[in-house]
Amino acid sequence: MEAVSLNPTPIIQIKGLGLAFEQDGRRTEVLRGLDLDIAAGEFVAIVGASGVGKSTLLRVLMGLATPTSGTVATAPDPQAERPMAMVFQDARLLPWRRVLANVMFGLEKTALPKEARIARAQEALKLVGLAELAGRWPHQLSGGQRQRVALARALAVRPAILLMDEPFSALDVVTREALQDELVRIRAETGRTILFVTHDIDEAVYMADRVVALGGRPGVMRSARAIDVARPRRRGSIALSEIAQDVRLDITAEHRDPDFSI
């Protein structure tokens, strides 16, 4: 459990990360001075209100947005084939590809022969429990199934870090909780490093090894709490609820935000 903090070389090192963009001559700062190290195999959840820069952070890591300041250093992971892969909030499957072909999408960037890509995609589908739906079209799937396919698509490319941007927030409670347990299981099976963004504090505390709270505008880090609760965890247990309450206070603690001081 404590391997997290003992690991000397983090797989990803974020230093002083900030991002601002200019629109109609007005400068909007989204993120400011974020420092975060993530160890190999660690499950880190990032929580905060909408507009606090959670998704922006993932977009920067994925190379979809350029930071205005700070650095992101990634250590090469010999077990991974790509540095990162992303699961989006709204699955974003390609509607003209069947489920299997959707999972193969990222593999088409690799030199793998077709048979190997198919095998890899089937393996990823099996991991998310959808092997028998390989021939379906995306529009034939439920919201939860779609999100599982998106997860398989990201896992198939064997990323060093799996980035997840509120992947379960659009799902109903039952499906969401099932997928949370599924993700915890997959993580235990594959040992992937996961950076999971959510606005649901209970979800973060239930799944993650560490919960990073962002708050304010621009978003700054309010706290990073290790969740030292043994697994399997019980949803809504007193230990988890107390941590969740602390995180809630971290997020709303205005005195820590220099922008709020008058």
By beta-carbon proximity to another protein, the closer residue of 159 and 216 is 159
Beta strands at 210-215 and 69-74: parallel, antiparallel or unpaired: unpaired
Residues 39-68 binding another protein (CB under 8 A) are 62-64
Instruction: Single out the segment in contact with another protein by CB under 8 A; choices: 133-141, 201-209, 216-224, 244-252.
Output: 133-141
* CB of 135 vs another protein, minimal distance in Å: 12
137 binds another protein (CB under 8 A): yes
For residue 38, with 0-12 CB atoms within 10 Å meaning exposed, 13-18 middle and 19 or more buried, which class applies? buried
Task: Tell me which residue of 112, 113, 132 sits closest to 122, measured CA to CA.
Answer: 132
The verdict on 155 binding another protein (CB under 8 A) reads no
Of 12, 134, 157, 183, which lies in the binding site for another protein, with binding defined by CB under 8 A?
157
Decide whether 136 or 217 has the Cβ nearer to another protein: 136
Residue 35 as a binder of another protein (CB under 8 A): the answer is no
228 binds another protein (CB under 8 A): no
Per CB under 8 A, contacts with another protein among 60-119 are: 62-64, 82, 85-86, 88, 90, 92, 94-98, 105-106, 108-109
Per CB under 8 A, which of residues 186..215 are in contact with another protein? none
Residue 17 or 99: the one with the smaller Cβ distance to another protein is 99
Contacts of 111 (CB under 8 A, 6+ apart): none
